[in-house]
Amino acid sequence: MKATVSTEWLSGCSGCHVALVDLHEKLFGLLDDMEIVRSPVLVDQKTYPKANVGIVEGAVRSEHDLEALHKIRGSVDVLVAYGTCAVYGGPSGVGWLYRKDDVFDAVYERGPTNAGGERPDSGVPSLEESVRPIDEYVPVDLYLPGCPPHPFFVAAGLHNLLDSSKPGLTHRSVCADCNRKMQKRAGVQLVPAAVVGDDPDLCFLSQGIICLGSVSLNRCLAPCPKIGVACTGCAGPSLDVLTDPNRDTRTELAERMEKLCGIPRKDTVSYLEMNANTFFAYAMASPTIYKKPTVEIREWAGPSQAATS
Amino acid sequence: MVTIKVDDKACVGCTLCVDECPTDVFEFDEAKRLPVVTRPEMCFGCLSCSKICPADAIDHQGILISRNFYHDDYAVRLASRLGLSTPPELGVSAEAAEREKALEDLGIRLLSMASVLRQTLGAALPAVGRMAGTTLAAQLPRYQLPETFDQAIQVVRDGLNPAWIIGDTARQNGSLKVSVKGCFVRDLCRREHLDLGGDLCTLFGTYLLGYLGKVTKSRLKLVHTDRTWESCRYDLEVHT
């Protein structure tokens, strides 16, 4: 008997659903074992039929998201949080920094393109107080972060799930798939606001450029550092950062840069704090990050900072 | 026995694990640009290598999963404020006022920790202390492992100084008397005007016993405790 799969799409960009279609020919192989009974981009199905596996993309931002999430949880046996938004809040998680009223003020009252100043109050679902990852509301069985997850990992995850064995995904970081050489070098300075280095074969950290590869989970096969752009950490924090309460993205990175090229720890830490909106962009709405005793993300990137910069 | 596996495909050859390991478990193979596990028997499971590894390519099996105290940034900062990071023989210490303030912070943290543990765990408080002591002793570097009972007592004496200064120990026919002369908990109680024998005393008393028991490889049963402002005495039954 074929396994049935149902997917749903909350506050996200649909990129994760596109990644599902990016399986190309592999999708046909998978369809021998599974049947997609509901999917906003593939199947014309508005209700929530019973299914074995539920795949949810996107964070919870509106009343509609919340209702859809509860409905799909009720209709499936195994729920997969699919993509960084569902797992950590993702890019839309930046809304977690602001109160609902501040968001409305900025968009509908002070927004330069919306001079009328009217808030929409009918025909659209109302917003929740904040943006949250889906496991804040319902139990989640499996997590597959990534922005979007590379089809390689989607296929590996689905294959393992359908064979009812454990998902064979590793906990390696992005560095594991990057082919740049990490080397100790003396006399390197921190290069602020750079994402491209001089040497195409040398690790960004060895060149003094902030790259989040070593603190991010590998769900992408490292395409950015391979073509010459520093990693922005789109698959969320690595296992080290997640499991140790006293370490976070900035302390881990500062320690490595200090040991590799002698850049003072304090410099890296304060640079990352000043640009927290960039370097914590994908996981700031997740309690695994903002509840760490070392992370004060609202202070670093919150409304008061936005007003001054 | 600890098994350490380095994922060759994932390794980026940065050599940080070789530098980081306190017991020199790794050697670096320059030709292959890979670390090689040459002395796995020296590993005591601090996970420093795994934490520093940029690719998260080092896996350990057969270790005690416990968070290592030196990963705690707050604790490290507090220790440096107390001037503990500089050896006392150098005669360098933090300024007296700063040291006082740091001691106060330490006291507040410890007292609140003990009361939180008491509130959440109740009668299990001694078990927590004992478990913590056992855990610490299990993380001793291998070359410190003592063979005889007297050596074990000496390891405890050295390891706990200056937090505790262990005085005389008397052992006969399965009973052991340990007197503790200097004790930071006692100093703390004196500073904060607290009675001896509170939650903090229970917690750290059992911590001491857990540590002692693990190092001496014996089961210790607490029979009697005698606490005074000069020294405390623990009467123990020893089951080996």
**Per-residue pLDDT tens digits for A54-74:** 999 999 999 999 999 999 999
Cβ atoms of A111 and A103 closer than 8 Å? no
**Residue from B27, B32, B30 nearest B49 by CA:** B27
Q: Which of B5, B8, B9, B14 to mutate to test the interface with A (most CBs of A within 10 A)?
A: B14
Helices (H), A42-199: 63-75, 84-88, 100-104, 151-162
Span A276-291, average pLDDT:
90
CB-based contact A176 B9, cutoff 8 Å? yes
Nearest-by-Cβ selection for B13 from A182, A259, A294: A182
pLDDT digits (tens, 9 = 90+) for A42-55: 899 999 999 999 99
pLDDT digits (tens, 9 = 90+) for A254-266: 999 999 999 999 9
**CA distance readout (Å), A252 to A43, A198, A210:** 44, 24, 12
* A3-9 and A34-38 beta bridge pairing: parallel
DSSP-based three-state secondary structure for B26: strand
How far is A289 from A236, CA to CA, in rounded Å?
Answer: 10
Residue B73: which pLDDT band, with cuts at 50, 70 and 90? low
Residue B90: which pLDDT band, with cuts at 50, 70 and 90? very low
Cis peptide before A148 (omega within 30 of 0): yes
Per-residue confidence (pLDDT) for residue A56, from 0 to 100: 96
DSSP-based three-state secondary structure for A255: helix
Nearest-by-Cβ selection for B56 from A172, A180, A256: A172
pLDDT of residue A143 exceeding 60: yes
Average pLDDT value for chain A: 89
CB-based contact B55 A205, cutoff 8 Å? no
**Domains, chain A, ordered by start:** 3-162 (3.40.50.700), 174-300 (no CATH)
A119 to chain B, closest Cα gap in Å: 46
**Domains, chain B, ordered by start:** 3-61 (3.30.70.20), 129-239 (3.30.1380.20)
Task: Please give the residue of chain B at the shortest CA–CA distance from A182.
Answer: B14
Helices (H), B92-170: 96-121, 125-138, 149-160
CB-based contact B52 A259, cutoff 8 Å? yes
CB-based contact B67 A244, cutoff 8 Å? yes
Span A248-275, average pLDDT:
91
B8 to chain A, closest Cα gap in Å: 9
pLDDT of residue A204 exceeding 70: yes
Q: Please tell me the pTM assigned to this model.
A: 0.70
Cα-Cα-Cα-Cα torsion A273, A275, A280, A285, nearest 10 degrees, comes to: 90
How far is A199 from A207, CA to CA, in rounded Å?
Answer: 8
Q: ∠ at Cα B210 (B208, B214), nearest 5°?
A: 120
Residue B57: which pLDDT band, with cuts at 50, 70 and 90? very high
**CA distance readout (Å), A150 to A93, A221, B10, B39:** 21, 7, 18, 38
- Most confident region among A156-160, B78-82, B158-162 by mean pLDDT: A156-160
pLDDT of residue B27 exceeding 90: yes
CB-based contact A214 B15, cutoff 8 Å? no
pLDDT of residue B68 exceeding 60: no
How far is A178 from B10, CA to CA, in rounded Å?
Answer: 9
pLDDT of residue B182 exceeding 70: yes
Tokens 């199947």 sit on residue: A43
A7 touches chain B (CB under 8 A): no
Strand partners, A191: A209
Tokens 């149902």 sit on residue: A6
- Comparing A110 with B233, the larger pLDDT belongs to B233
Per-residue confidence (pLDDT) for residue A307, from 0 to 100: 55
ipTM: 0.85
User: Other C-beta atoms within 10 Å of A152: how many?
Assistant: 16
B181 to chain A, closest Cα gap in Å: 34
**Cβ partners under 8 Å of residue A267, min gap 6:** A190, A254
**Residue from B43, B46, B53 nearest A172 by CA:** B53
How far is A253 from A249, CA to CA, in rounded Å?
Answer: 6
A4 touches chain B (CB under 8 A): no
Per-residue confidence (pLDDT) for residue A66, from 0 to 100: 95
